[in-house]
Amino acid sequence: MASHSQEPQVTVLPPDKAKIKKLWTVAGILGAVTALEFVIAFALDAGVFKTALFVGLTIVKAGYIVLEFMHLKYEVKVLFWSILIPMIFVVWMLVAFVYEGMKMPVLP
Amino acid sequence: MGASYGKLMMWFFLLSDAFTFSGLLITYGLVRSAHPAFEGLPDAFTFSPEYWPIPEKVFDAIPFYHGVPLPLVFVGIMTFILIMSSVTMVLAVEAGHRMDRKAVEKWMLWTIVGGLTFLGCQAWEWTHFIVGTGVPTKVTDFVFINGELTQITKEVVGANLKINQYGPQDFADFFFFITGFHGFHVFSGVLLNFLIYYNTVTGVYERRGHYEMVEKVGLYWHFVDLVWVFVFTFFYLV
């Protein structure tokens, strides 16, 4: 058919084994950290230490997702910083709200 | 800037979306810390509007095991499903870089399956939360009797935006708003993923000569996973 000649010539490259292996490693780390969180949820009593541990592990997971899966680590530095620096506002919001929360009367 | 316009704009959209979710989660933290916590051993915990519930006591059911307390198992499974669909998404992006149409189709399809499974799980979880556990909780409510606002105590099973059996009303409202807002992101993500899958199958990206759309929608999909990581910690674990 005539339309076939209009189809572009596509060169399919072979899979990048090293890259794919790395992606599965990141997935393994995410799964393992989630499993660890699950264990901690039952192994430790509620308290500041447990909460801090959860927050820390969450930041580890978020870091892997943003830097590896979303590829931010390998983007140009301008993009990297223009995403990261505005996150200061989130930190500000967190500090401001928690500070206000501590001053609030306890609700029934 | 050295980054493509489309990717840059997707990143800025995600940044603004991150602010929205931060607003929801930080407000949750504020309201929660303003309520008293349950004092006593976790085993002695019962639902009451007097204090904030322990999340693992609320979310302890999984399908087909009614009455068997399996705290956090189901949300754990949901987290795992979303992480897996994130992996299949990066594999689709990787295949796109190599112009491998068949592989992009395969991995996009798996990503859609993962997204739909997650939505199914969430539908079940919402149903369970709304219908309740069968053991009623005594809740104080205000109703109009003969035109006068009167305080009454009634037994409540399940939850809605007005009254619930699990704890203070804010708890149920935040559950609906935070997981609902995230679930809606998953839903629109599945729609976008399907669009990408359709365009891949019909050869749009092959004719265009690149698969950058897969990458852009991939960013959105990973963001949805990222938000769930935070929701999982701050709503279910802490």
Amino acid at B139: V
Asked if the Cβ–Cβ distance from B226 to A27 is below 8 Å, we say no
Give residue B227's pLDDT.
Answer: 96
Mean pLDDT of B194-207: 96
Opening angle at CA A85, ends A83 and A88, nearest 5: 120
Model confidence at A107, pLDDT cuts 50, 70, 90, reads low
CA dist A106 and B134 (Å) reads 30
Please tell me the total number of residues recorded for chain B in this structure: 238
The CB-side HSE value for B189 (13 A sphere, CA atoms) comes to 31
Give residue A7's pLDDT.
Answer: 61
CA dist B199 and B206 (Å) reads 9
CA dist B128 and B174 (Å) reads 16
In chain A, the number of structural domains is 1
Assigned domain for A27 exists: yes
pLDDT tens for each residue of B74-114: 999 999 999 999 999 999 999 999 999 999 999 999 999 99
Asked if the Cβ–Cβ distance from A101 to B209 is below 8 Å, we say no
Q: Which of B56, B72, B87, B234 to mutate to probe the A interface, most A CBs <10 Å?
A: B87
pLDDT tens for each residue of A58-90: 999 999 999 999 999 898 999 999 999 999 999
Assigned domain for A3 exists: no
Tell me the CA distances in angstroms from A69 to A26, B11, B147, B221, one per residue in order: 8, 13, 59, 10
Give residue A6's pLDDT.
Answer: 60
Chain A contact for B72 (CB, 8 A cutoff): yes
Tell me how crowded residue B49 is: count the other CB atoms within 10 A of its CB: 22
Assigned domain for A93 exists: yes
Q: Is the pLDDT of residue A48 over 60?
A: yes
Instruction: Find how far residue B42's CA is from the centre of its chain.
Output: 25
CB B236 within 8 A of CB B77: no
CA dist B92 and B214 (Å) reads 7
Model confidence at B66, pLDDT cuts 50, 70, 90, reads confident
Q: Is the pLDDT of residue A5 over 80?
A: no
Q: Calculate Rg over the CA atoms of chain B.
A: 22
- Residue ranges making up the domain that contains A33: 17-103
Helices B212-231 and B169-201 pack at an angle, to 10 degrees, of 160
Q: Is the pLDDT of residue A1 over 60?
A: no
Assigned domain for A43 exists: yes
Model confidence at A43, pLDDT cuts 50, 70, 90, reads confident
Asked if the Cβ–Cβ distance from B222 to A69 is below 8 Å, we say yes
Q: Is the pLDDT of residue B152 over 70?
A: yes
Question: Torsions phi, psi of B117, nearest 5?
Answer: -60, -45
Residue B137, beta-bridge partner list:
B156
pLDDT tens for each residue of B162-177: 899 999 999 999 999 9
Residues from chain B contacting residue A51 (CB–CB below 8 Å): 238
Q: What percent of chain B has pLDDT over 90?
A: 69
Give residue B189's pLDDT.
Answer: 97
Residue scoring higher pLDDT (B6 or A104) = B6
Mean pLDDT of chain A: 87
Amino acid at B41: L
Q: Is the pLDDT of residue B32 over 80?
A: yes
What contacts 24+ positions apart, CB below 8 Å, involve B104-107? B104/B200, B104/B205, B104/B211, B104/B214, B105/B197, B105/B200, B105/B201
Model confidence at B180, pLDDT cuts 50, 70, 90, reads very high
| 3-state SS assignment for residue B41 | coil
Model confidence at B233, pLDDT cuts 50, 70, 90, reads very high
ipTM computed for the complex: 0.86
Tokens read off for B2: 């050295």
Minimal CA separation from B98 to chain A, in Å: 5
CA dist A90 and A96 (Å) reads 10
Tokens read off for B184: 């809606």
Asked if the Cβ–Cβ distance from B30 to A41 is below 8 Å, we say no
Give residue B206's pLDDT.
Answer: 93
Tokens read off for B228: 């769930």
Asked if the Cβ–Cβ distance from A58 to B26 is below 8 Å, we say no
> Whose CA is closest to B55, among B226, B227, B179, B171?
B171
- Please give the DSSP secondary-structure letter assigned to residue B43: G
Burial B94-131 (b: 16+ CB within 10 A, else e): bbbbbbbbebbeebbbbbbbbbbbbbebbeebbebbee
Assigned domain for A58 exists: yes
> Which domains, ranges and CATH numbers included, belong to chain B?
5-36+44-132+171-237 (1.20.120.80)
